[in-house]
Structure formats: structure tokens, C-alpha cells
Structure 1
Amino acid sequence: MYVNQLAIKGKEKEVLSVYTEKIEQGKYIHLSGNKIFIHDSDDENLEKIDEIRNKNRVKPLNEIRNRDTINIVFKQGLFGFKYLK
């Protein structure tokens, strides 16, 4: 995967729906789009999304309401795999 990130072939914008549910341990969050699904257990990508949102000075994921949408721009690497950075 590292080699994939050496060269950027393009960018792809995804519109993801946010689904939240409060549980005893906190808040369960997952994101769903046409081509992508980010589950609550995917801490690495959720943290990257929150970092990007923080840099852009928008609400973090845990402050977004159920069924709201967010825009995320993925970079497309050398081999065509999408990634966040």
C-alpha cells in the first residue's frame, strides 16, 4: 500500500451518509456511500477524516447528526487504490 501512495493519479470526491447510534460505550458511527463503507471499527480512517475536518474547521464526526452527509476527497494512488491522507 505504501508504493500506491508514492504517486497521486487523481482525486475522487465521495458523498457519504453518516449513521449514528448511541450505545453504552459511547457513539456508534459508520459512513456509507455509493462505492465505500467506513465502519465504526475502522479507527484509522475515521481519525484521518476527523483530522481533515479539523484542518478545514468543520464539525467533527461525533457532532454530526444521524443521516447528515459529508464530502470526503480520496486520493487515487499509483495502482488506482483510493486512500486518505
Structure 2
Amino acid sequence: MEAWLVALCARSIPLVRAGEAGGLGAVAGLDLGAAAGPALAAVSGAFLDGMRLCLGVSAVLLVIAVAAAVLLRRPRRSREPSAAPAAERLPAG
């Protein structure tokens, strides 16, 4: 496609025009005014907090999975069968 055609199509879309004129807040229909900077900083901070939470939960689940794998792979000690049957081992009486 020709560059001028792409530019013409982009300008005909209302969201693109709103974004060029008023930024991301205008595209979403938000009128934050002077609070736009702190609001966007709060959103990015909340996103990072959520990522830290996900990493913490995944680390705990990884530790649990490794512990389960180690416990399941450990060979169990087998009991040595006694020479006498159970009835003979009971005290007489």
C-alpha cells in the first residue's frame, strides 16, 4: 500500500484522531486533565505489584512441586518378611 493511503485510512478512524489530539486518555474517554500523570503512574505501579504477586505465588508453587517430586521419588524401605506366619508369632493363651 502507498504511504499516503495508509495515512489517509488512519486519519479517517475516530480513535486515531482522538489519540493524536488528546492522547491515550482521550481514546479511552477519560478526562483526567492535570491528574493524568499521577493516574498513569498509579496504574503502572499497580501492574508491577500484580506482577510481583504472581512471581511470589509461582515461586511458592515451584518449591511445593520440587518438594513433592523429591518425596515421591524417594524409595520406600521394604519390610523384611518374617519367617514365621502371623499366627505363630502371637503369644499362647
So what's the TM-score if we normalise by structure 1? 0.24
Return the structure number with greater relative CO, CA threshold 8 A, min gap 6. 1
Higher strand share: 1
Higher helix share: 2
